[in-house]
Amino acid sequence: MRLIHTGTYELYEFYDKQIPLYAILSHRWENDEVTFQDLRGGRGPNMAGWGKILGCCAQAAKNGWKYAWIDSCCIDKSSSAELSEAINSMFEWYRRAEVCYAYLSDVSWKNSTRGSNEVDFKNSKWFTRGWTLQELLAPQWVEFYDKDWGEIGTKSSLADLITSTTGITHLFNFGEACIAQKMSWASRRETTRVEDQAYCLMGLFDVHMPPLYGEGKKAFLRLQLEILSKSDDESIFAWYDSSGNKSGLLAPSPERFRKSGNIKRGNFDAKRPPHVMTNQGLRLELFLTAAAEAEVQSTKLERLSIPFTAATPQVSNSFLSPSYLAPLNCVLVSTDGRHPYRDNLVALPLSKGVDINATRGWSRRGELQFVESSELRGLERAVIYTIFDPPAHSYGRPGTVLIRTPSAPEFPFSVSQQYESGTGAYWTPNCEEGHMLKSFYREEELAALLFTSKRITKFALVIGSSGSVFWVDVQVVIGNISLESLVQNFVRSKDVRGGGERLSRDLSDGRVVSVSSKKQFQEGLYRYIVDLTVERKVV
Co-location of 511 and 431 in the same domain: yes
With 70 as the cut, is the pLDDT of residue 304 above it? no
Co-location of 49 and 158 in the same domain: yes
* pLDDT of res. 227: 96
Residue 185 lies in a domain: no
Listed residue (166, 165, 185, 347) closest to 260, CA to CA? 185
**Which pairs with CB-CB distance under 8 Å and at least 24 residues apart come from 105-112?**
105/27, 105/28, 105/30, 105/52, 105/147, 106/147, 107/146, 107/147, 107/152, 108/146, 108/147, 108/148, 108/150, 109/146, 109/150, 109/151, 109/152, 110/146, 110/148, 110/150
Last residue of a domain, one of 340, 360, 391: 391
* pLDDT of res. 154: 97
Last residue of a domain, one of 373, 391, 409: 391
Q: Determine contact, residues 371/304, Cβ cutoff 8 Å.
A: yes
In angstroms, the CA 373 to CA 169 distance is 27
Co-location of 321 and 459 in the same domain: no
Co-location of 400 and 371 in the same domain: no
DSSP 359: S
Co-location of 387 and 463 in the same domain: no
Longest dimension (CA), the chain: 95
Question: Which residues lie below 8 Å from residue 426, measured CB to CB, with a gap of 6+?
Answer: 420, 437, 438, 439
Residue 250 lies in a domain: yes
Angle at CA 253, nearest 5°, toward 26 and 239?
Answer: 115
Number of residues written out for the chain: 539
Residue 221 lies in a domain: no
pTM for the predicted model, two decimal places: 0.75
CATH at 497: 2.60.270.20
Residue 181 lies in a domain: no
Amino acid code (one letter) for 76: D
**Residue ranges of E strands in 430-483:** 435-440, 446-452, 458-466, 469-477
**146 or 269, higher pLDDT:** 146
Q: What is the domain range of residue 509?
A: 396-536
Mean pLDDT of 229-242: 92
Last residue of a domain, one of 336, 365, 391: 391
Co-location of 367 and 408 in the same domain: no
Amino acid code (one letter) for 470: F
Co-location of 405 and 386 in the same domain: no
In terms of average pLDDT, the best of 114-123, 166-175, 459-468 is 166-175
Mean pLDDT of 139-167: 96
* pLDDT of res. 291: 65
Residue 384 lies in a domain: yes
Q: Is 133 left (phi over 0), alpha (psi -120 to 50) or beta?
A: alpha
Q: Determine contact, residues 227/236, Cβ cutoff 8 Å.
A: yes
Co-location of 387 and 483 in the same domain: no
Residue 200 lies in a domain: no
| Residue 525: pLDDT band with limits 50, 70, 90 | confident
Question: Which residues lie below 8 Å from residue 109, measured CB to CB, with a gap of 6+?
Answer: 117, 120, 121, 146, 150, 151, 152
DSSP 321: P
Buried b (16+ CB within 10 A) or exposed e, 16-34: eeeeeebbbbbbbeeeebb
- Could you tell me where the DSSP H helices lie in 200-243? 218-228
**How far apart, in Å, are the Cα atoms of 448 and each of 80, 380, 425?**
51, 39, 11
In terms of average pLDDT, the best of 196-200, 241-245, 276-280, 335-339 is 196-200
Angle at CA 13, nearest 5°, toward 8 and 16?
Answer: 135
Angle, to 10 degrees, between the axis of helix 114-122 and the axis of helix 159-166? Answer: 50
Residue 38 lies in a domain: yes
Buried b (16+ CB within 10 A) or exposed e, 512-524: ebebbbeeeeeee
| Residue 417: pLDDT band with limits 50, 70, 90 | confident
- Cis amide bond preceding 409, omega within 30: yes
* pLDDT of res. 29: 94
Q: For all residues of the chain together, what is the average pLDDT?
A: 83
pLDDT digit string (tens) for 14-52? 998 899 999 999 999 999 999 999 999 999 999 999 999
In angstroms, the CA 297 to CA 437 distance is 23
Listed residue (357, 526, 363) closest to 443, CA to CA? 363
Residue 193 lies in a domain: no
Co-location of 29 and 163 in the same domain: yes
Total domain count, the chain: 3
Q: What is the 3-state secondary structure (H, E, C) of 514-526?
A: EEEEEEEEECCEE
Co-location of 128 and 142 in the same domain: yes
With 50 as the cut, is the pLDDT of residue 306 above it? no
In angstroms, the CA 445 to CA 496 distance is 13
pLDDT digit string (tens) for 465-490? 765 677 888 888 888 888 888 877 77
**How far apart, in Å, are the Cα atoms of 325 and each of 192, 244, 436?**
37, 15, 36
Q: Is 212 exposed, middle or buried (0-12, 13-18, 19+ CB in 10 A)?
A: middle
Co-location of 274 and 339 in the same domain: yes
With 50 as the cut, is the pLDDT of residue 519 above it? yes
| Residue 500: pLDDT band with limits 50, 70, 90 | low
Co-location of 14 and 134 in the same domain: yes
Q: 426 — phi, psi (to 5°)?
A: -155, 155
